[in-house]
Amino acid sequence: MTPVLIIDDDQELCDLLRDWLATEGFALSCYHDGPGGLQAARTDSYAAIILDVMLPGMNGLEILRELRQSCQTPLLMLSARGEPVDRILGLELGADDYLAKPCDPRELVARLRALLRRSQPAQDGASDMLMHAGLRLDGGNLMAWLDDEPLQLTQSEALILRALMTRPAQVVDRQTLSREALGKPLGNYDRSLDMHISNLRRKLGPHPDGRPRIQSIRGRGYLLGS
């Protein structure tokens, strides 16, 4: 069974998801308050985390901010509020995916499986060490370094970087990046890829001469510059 942590104060939903996910091969651990869930995420090992925004004691965005300082476990956020600002802020803070409540358990399972597929070590040439302009990325375990200093990248950020580093100095279109890094086609109004790239740019910083490491090519996509 694949261990998954859910932090959500809706006990009825947690019971439903625990039963549903068990039939799909997931072992769900449930916590109904923010501090308890954060402690579990820090001390126990999970393949993925499902995190609600509205929680007693500590809200989900605060938990996400704390977790992303040291934990890069694939994370899916849930929210009943449906506000675009929650989705944008969640992605900016490092969530890998976002799902509005109420949600179909089948969609939740599909998104969990997509997150876990993307987090698996590569079984082909993508597992080679990639190097470009001071950047180093292990394409298998998605660990990255800049000038020999480790980078704390989320799964989505590391997969975007891998897609760009396998095509150095080439423009990679947004649909290709979304399919390879986020596991989905990009909708017309979907800004999740742009949020992840914004976070990645911030972590990489510019070149010494001030040029951005990831360049946006209007109407075409993104390019990893030298």
Indicate the residue among 119, 142, 161 that finishes a domain. Answer: 119
* Total H helices, total E strands in the chain: 8, 12
Residues with pLDDT less than 70, the chain: 81-83, 121-127
The CATH number linked to 75 is: 3.40.50.2300
Rounded Cα gap, residues 189 and 81, in angstroms:
19
Domain limits for position 24: 2-119
Q: What is the pLDDT of residue 126?
A: 47
The verdict on 95 and 140 lying in the same domain is: no
pLDDT of residue 72: 82
User: How far apart are the C-alpha atoms of 118 and 159, rounded to whole Å?
Assistant: 8
Same domain, 112 and 143: no
How much is the pLDDT for 81? 67
Rounded to the nearest angstrom, the gap between the alpha carbon of residue 92 and the centroid of all alpha carbons in its chain is 10
- Identify the pLDDT of residue 125: 46
Mapping DSSP to helix (H, G, I), strand (E, B) and coil, where does residue 52 land? strand
H-type helices in the chain, by residue range? 11-22, 34-43, 60-67, 84-92, 105-119, 155-165, 174-177, 192-204
Q: Given this model, what pLDDT does residue 33 score?
A: 93
- What is the chain's length? 226
Q: Quick one: 140 exposed, middle or buried, by C-beta within 10 A (0-12, 13-18, 19+)?
A: middle
Cβ neighbours around 171 below 10 Å, total: 15
